[in-house]
Amino acid sequence: MSTAFRDRLPGLALSAYSWLVVLFIGLPLCVVLAVSVTSGQFLSFPPKGFSLKWFGAFFASSDWMNAMRTSLEVALGAAVISTTIGSALAFALDRYEYSYGGLLAGLGVLPVLLPPVIVGVAFMIFFYSVGFSGTVWNLMIAHGIFYSPFPFILISQGLDEIDQGYEEAAMNLGATPTYTLRTITIPLLRSNVISGAIFAFILSLNEYIIAWLLSGFVLTTIPIQIFTSLRYSYSPVIAAVSVIFVFITVVVMSVIDYLSGGIWE
């Protein structure tokens, strides 16, 4: 019996340790959720009583609503920019041979590997020099470029996995290349394209430092607004906003997972 136990011990220890790490990842989210429904005036844990008033306060505040609108506009624009760049680049590199293909592929992944503060300062100098700054367009462009590697990588993987046989069959049956592309290739890639766009959207929605450097103190996104609020007060509204954001994020990630049939498998 003791040898059986000794054999199982590493497995048991591993599973206990692993679940502790899962707890470390999940517990903070539960704490924000708990704090957001406090009926007290300040952030405290454990929360005092139960109330949804801080969610009401969020939707009633014009500051938060403005920040939300800016965030959504920027994220939408960034998703469009990054997905068009990513899909065109992935398609080009998959279908054709370029003498500078390796360079292009490197350029496709580099933006997101650089520290965002560098990308932010570079864009700030650039926009300042061309005399165009402090608008939502600046944020959209910067986020669109910075996050373009995600759609690029996802769509490259999709193109890699497509069975060439489908395309060949279509063309052997007399379909033109364009028709094949439209009826075979693009539908097969749909989930990769959608996932890529949603990735960029979510990341842009949550990005702080680039947005702050380019905001020129006129624009406010949700992360900027949270950061500013933290300086002055620890109002439970911040927890409520966090819960709304986490909720959006988890729902969207589960949808991607479902759409792509388990992208993390």
Could you say which residues in the range 92-151 bind another protein, by CB under 8 A?
A: 92-98, 101-102, 104-126, 129, 141, 145, 148-150
199: tokens are 């990735």
Contact range with another protein by CB under 8 A, out of 56-64, 72-80, 90-98? 90-98
Binding to another protein, residues 53-72 (CB under 8 A): none
Are 155 and 196 within 8 A, CB to CB?
yes
C-alpha torsion 109→139→237→24, nearest 10: 10
CB 197, min distance to another protein, A? 13
Alpha helices per DSSP H over 43-148: 53-60, 62-95, 101-113, 116-129, 136-146
Among 25, 62, 174, 232, binds another protein (CB under 8 A): 25
* Half-sphere exposure (Cβ direction) of 53: Cα atoms closer than 13 Å: 11
For another protein, which residue of 37, 68, 238, 240 counts as binding (CB under 8 A)? 238
In the chain, count H helices and then E strands.
13, 0
Output the smallest distance, CB 235 to another protein, in A.
11
Site string for another protein, 198-217 (x = CB under 8 A): -x--xx-xxxxx--xx----
253 near another protein (CB under 8 A): yes
